[in-house]
Structure 1
Amino acid sequence: MTSSDPATITAILLAGARPIADPLATAAGVPVKPLVPVAGEPMINRPARALLAHPAIGQLVVLTQNPEYFADDPATAWLASDPRVRFERGGKGIASSLLELMEKADLPFPLLMTTADHVLLDAAMLDQFVAEATGADIAVALVEKTTLLAHYPQSRRTWLKFRDGWWSGANIFWFGSAKARPVIALWQDVEQDRKKGWKILSAFGPLALVGALLRILTLRGGIARVGRRFGLTARLVAMDQAEACIDADKPDDIVLIESILAR
């Protein structure tokens, strides 16, 4: 699929809140992090516009515990009035909310999921991800450490170390068919440990864990191996743009993002 293909992808934009108060939201005086201003507007606006502007996206589902926050805010009310946007209520966990949404809403595949704090998401990132993820049952976007540090050496990320590099998530996911459901269910089991790489790897079996620790597995090979375990095609999309893994997670991130947008 390319950017000229018909709008067939369902985009899911995660705009929920954690169980505890988010420091960015508290500091900004807003009820949830997606409403925190970045470069003069709520951070959710930029990824939402990027998704809706992409010709391959047919509809946008905003998944959040509190749709009313966005409808009541003048700066985000446009989302509630756009006919291609619909709000769905989520729960506490991303994976559990996604599984519930897939069951009750009967969303058409493929699904592309990203987050409201992915402020720098743009057409080029979506073009690359859609092109490389198409045909897979599940795909995940990552950025290799050298790609990021070549442009933003001051940026701090969480890295997973493999033989083919150090990788950080870019918060873009692809679910190409219903075969992805068992992997999402596994994600649900380890979701609380998503920042602890070894626990995530150990959920895929001791071979994956030992292989990662000894650096005898590439991440590309590991993801493909996980796919075979579940009887599906799983794919890593190594993003070309360093900005793909810079999200608005900390005050320093917002300063960096605003400087990038100002350029």
Structure 2
Amino acid sequence: MSLTALVLAGSRGPGDPLAVYAGVSHKALIDVAGTPMIERVVAALAAVEEVSRIVVMIEIPEQLRESASLRAAAGKCELQIIAAADSPSSSVAAGLQQLGTPLLVTTADHALLRSEWLRYFLDHCPRDVDACAALARSEAVLKALPATRRTWLRFRGARYSGCNLFFFATPAAIGIARTWRAFEAERKQPLKMVTRLGWSVALRYLVGQLSLKAALQRLGRLSGARLAVVEMPFGLAAVDVDKPSDLDLVRGLLA
């Protein structure tokens, strides 16, 4: 299987607090252990045998198109730098339309990303679904980082953290991006979000009685796509660099 990998490298625009904190022009260029985050991510993707093309979506493509070190990180893979859309969900939707499926998606701030994590994720994605996401249980995350403080996805019997890894296997997966985009548009209107989910589902989630299976089934009905989750045994796979404390943590881990 020849696979395209999409790296979402968007930022919060001019004056991104994390870029300012790190003293760089763009979040994706932040140095971690001597290498910009975007290059670490691209190198991890390039080490996966099936990945033949890596596409980076960023607001100002010119920032990266002339980077010899980024092209070196891509190794044998074709490397494309294209313009990002105005949100992560819109970028994924655009990526699916332009690049097709299968499509492996991650983010430029996944600074600890390792090829073995990608290998595990791809190997464990069920073959009978349209899209798959990686989650790590709280037990795995806390074993790797006992003092971490996170916002958990709380389902009946388990808590999870997202790992910024997604696999869109078939064209039907575009429904996931469209549903995601609808939720993004309504993020400041909780009543609309609850109505879209359904009151029963929303209330069960709020009181901790919604199972992960039931949540996937509801999202599947909303999006018209078959969904699955891969539980990652690697707690560090749930770490991204979204704020200064994350950057300090990652730099400390790799020091």
TM, length-normalised to structure 2: 0.88
Does the 8 A contact of 2:40 with 2:73 survive in 1? no
How do 1:1-263 and structure 2 match up within 5 A?
Answer: 6=1, 8-19=2-13, 21-72=15-66, 75-76=69-70, 78=72, 84-103=78-97, 105=98, 107-135=99-127, 136-191=129-184, 203-262=196-255
Alignment partners' CA distance in 2, 1:125 and 1:97: 23
CA drift of 1:198 comes to 9.4
Q: Which amino acid aligns with 1:68?
A: E
Residue identity opposite 1:227 in structure 2: G
Change beyond 3 A, Cα 1:67–1:191: same
Contact 2:138 2:160 in 1 (8 A): yes
Q: CA deviation at 1:163?
A: 0.6
Shift of 1:240: 0.6
Q: Quick check: 1:79–1:85 contact (8 Å CA) kept in 2?
A: no
Residues in 2 aligned to 1:80 and 1:151: alpha-carbon distance in whole angstroms: 29
Q: Which runs of 5+ in 1 are unaligned?
A: 1-5
Q: Is the 8 A contact 1:31 1:69 kept in 2?
A: no
CA contact (8 A) 1:42 1:75 kept: no
The one-character-per-residue Cα deviations of 1:170-223 (angstroms, maximum 9, x if unpaired) are: 111111111111221111122267799998665432232112123222123311
Residues 220 and 236 of structure 1 are in contact (CA less than 8 Å); yes or no, is this contact kept in structure 2?
no
CA deviation vs aligned residue, 1:72-113 (integer Å, no higher than 9, x gap): 45654646997611111112111112222333x2x2311110
Between 1:204-213 and 1:72-81, the stretch displaced more is: 72-81
**CA 1:224–1:211 in structure 2 vs 1: closer, same or farther (change >3 Å)?**
same
Q: Map Cα deviations across residues 26-74 of structure 1 (whole Å, 9 max, x no partner).
A: 1233221000111112111111100011012121110111111123456
3-state secondary structure, aligned to 2:197: coil
Summarize deviations over 1:92-148 as a string: whole Å, max 9, x none. 111112222333x2x231111000010111122111211222422011111111211
RMSD: 2.6
Q: Contact 1:42/1:76 (CA < 8 Å) preserved in 2?
A: no
For residues 232 and 190 of structure 2, the distance between their equivalents in structure 1, rounded to whole angstroms, comes to 20
Confirm or deny: 8 A CA contact 2:51 2:77 kept in the other structure.
Answer: no
Distance in 2 of aligned mates of 1:155 and 1:198: 31
Q: Give the 3-state SS of the residue equivalent to 1:127 in structure 2.
A: helix
Cα distance in 2 for residues equivalent to 1:87 and 1:159: 33
Size of the aligned set, in residue pairs, is 254
Paired with 1:154 and 1:192, the residues of 2 have a C-alpha distance of 33
Give, as a single letter, the amino acid of the residue that structure 2 aligns with 1:183: I
Cα shift at 1:24: 1.8
Of all paired residues, the percent bearing the same amino acid is: 34
When structure 1 is superposed on structure 2, of 190-199 and 232-241 the one drifting more is 190-199
User: 72-81 or 160-169, which moves further after superposition?
Assistant: 72-81
